Structure 1
Amino acid sequence: MAGMKAMILAAGLGTRMRPLTLDTPKPLLKVGGKSLIEYHIERLVAAGVTDLVINHAWLGQQIEEYLGTGERYGARIQYSPESEPLETGGGIRKALPLLCDQGAAPFIVLNGDLFSTHPLEPLVDLQPPLGGAHLVLTANPPWHAEGDFALHSDGLVKEDGAEKLTFSGISVMTPELFDGIEADAFALAPLLREKMQVGAVTGSRLQGYWEDVGTPERLSVLDERLKAGVI
């Protein structure tokens, strides 16, 4: 879909990453000589997605100063600063005017604290059900063995099923997903579960490498793998 935009979620406090995040926002932590968020930007641009929105809160001005307008990456970056915690759902809803200023097209959403080689090009042409979303699911990591949702053979994602997988933090969302919500701050997962009940959430399996960079230990391991060229 021509002109698809993307949002990178970068407003977390990074509490599990302390002390590294006491003076550096988590998306700017470096692995393999590059900040986490730069990998996202470069991969989105390579997939033809150059119009980006980044939300931020904790030390967010550092993110704006580091990335600037996005010109050096071949992107156009707009920012959605948050002065109070909005949670994931609230953060996306607040940014909708930036994401949907040219119509009601779906948009890609990436968690800022993940690293993945999953191909983004197929997501550019993806059209989730109206009022719903498409989630990329991955095998459950050891620290989240119970998983999140089940991907069924018809491509629908539901709360339960024979095999539960973990939501990778990579998705395509429709702006109508947030219709009728009046709260400023709200979590995304309950909203997705509600839409699953009416068959409005589809999914696919992640391809390639994935890591939720949630702790200093995982950050260090990822840094070593990137520097060694094994990813």
Structure 2
Amino acid sequence: MRPLMIFAAGLGTRMRPLTQTRPKPLIEVAGQTLLDRALHLGRQAGCAPIAVNTHYLGQQIADHLAGQDVAISDEAGAILDTGGGLRKALPLLGSGPVMTLNPDVVWTGPNPLETLAREWRDGMQALLALVPIDRATARQGAGDFALDGAGRIARRGDFVYAGAQIVDPDLLADITDDVFSLNRVWDAAIARGTGFGTVHPGGWCDVGRPDAIPLAEALLHG
């Protein structure tokens, strides 16, 4: 079992007006909230413990999760970005490498968390799930990473970070800021040669805007 952090503290600005009265993780795609879809992937992969961070309309997420086996990392005071949010939640997650998952993504095909767990090896400090830019439904902009023959990642290539990873929290040790992005952690792993990627073979959709919801539902319905 590996601990899992689900990032649910974002403001959801790209999803307005749907996020004016509810946080983005509670928006439904094909009758199920994005957060519940993420939790299903985590439980299916045997992840434990599971933590979810909250900020914008966080009480709605806390109420939604009431009675479930999920810890809440409350960022009501200040949103901490992905890196700061992960570091704040580490006491809830235990020691060792941790999985993280963005809920505003829809997947088809194999469970990406199970793939990451299977492919994690000694010598890795970050293992990112990737999709080719030409299969990244609703994605806007260029790719994030390139892959070499050994599976190591480098910046600027034809692969998109798909929103799931395993990361070694030791990479956070040298960052003193309270608010920071996991991009700094990935850059540290790339510099050390310990940052890797694995390509998700199934479908993938970035559910970041209202017009992406029908695209995600079409992907799910095949």
Does the alignment reach a TM-score above 0.5? yes
Taking the aligned partners of 1:110 and 1:88, their CA distance within structure 2 comes to 10
Taking the aligned partners of 1:147 and 1:122, their CA distance within structure 2 comes to 21
TM-score by length of 1: 0.86
- What is aligned with 1:157? 153
> Once the two structures are superposed, what CA deviation does each residue of 1:157-179 show, in whole Å capped at 9, x if it has no partner?
1125xx53111111011111211
State the 1:46 CA deviation. Answer: 1.4
Distance 1:129 1:181, change over 3 A: farther
Taking the aligned partners of 2:121 and 2:175, their CA distance within structure 1 comes to 19
- What is aligned with 1:147? 143
Query: Where do residues 133-212 of structure 1 align in structure 2 (5 Å cutoff)?
Result: 133-140=126-133, 141=136, 143-160=139-156, 163-212=157-206
Distance 1:145 1:181, change over 3 A: closer
Distance 1:148 1:176, change over 3 A: same
1:13 aligns with 2:7: no
Structure 2: runs of 5+ lacking an equivalent:
none
Taking the aligned partners of 1:51 and 1:62, their CA distance within structure 2 comes to 21
TM-score by length of 2: 0.90
Taking the aligned partners of 1:50 and 1:41, their CA distance within structure 2 comes to 11
> Once the two structures are superposed, what CA deviation does each residue of 1:18-70 show, in whole Å capped at 9, x if it has no partner?
11001110000001111011111112211212421000100011011112232
1:116 to 76, 87, 107: 107
- What is aligned with 1:88? 82
- What is aligned with 1:73? none
Is the 1:5–1:107 contact (alpha carbons within 8 Å) kept by the matching residues of 2? Answer: yes
Opposite residue 113 of structure 1, the aligned amino acid is D
Q: RMSD of the alignment, in Å?
A: 1.9
> Once the two structures are superposed, what CA deviation does each residue of 1:73-118 show, in whole Å capped at 9, x if it has no partner?
xxx2001011212111111111111112xxx321110012111134
Percent of residue pairs bearing the same amino acid type: 36
Opposite residue 146 of structure 2, the aligned amino acid is A
Deviates more, 1:116-125 or 1:187-196: 116-125
Is the 2:144–2:159 contact (alpha carbons within 8 Å) kept by the matching residues of 1? Answer: yes
Opposite residue 92 of structure 1, the aligned amino acid is L
Is the 2:116–2:198 contact (alpha carbons within 8 Å) kept by the matching residues of 1? Answer: no
Taking the aligned partners of 1:11 and 1:53, their CA distance within structure 2 comes to 12
Opposite residue 15 of structure 2, the aligned amino acid is M
Distance 1:200 1:225, change over 3 A: closer
Distance 1:144 1:216, change over 3 A: closer
Question: What is the DSSP-based 3-state SS (H/G/I as helix, E as strand, rest coil) of the residue aligned with 1:93?
Answer: helix
Question: What is the DSSP-based 3-state SS (H/G/I as helix, E as strand, rest coil) of the residue aligned with 1:153?
Answer: coil
Taking the aligned partners of 1:146 and 1:38, their CA distance within structure 2 comes to 29
Opposite residue 30 of structure 1, the aligned amino acid is E
Opposite residue 106 of structure 1, the aligned amino acid is P
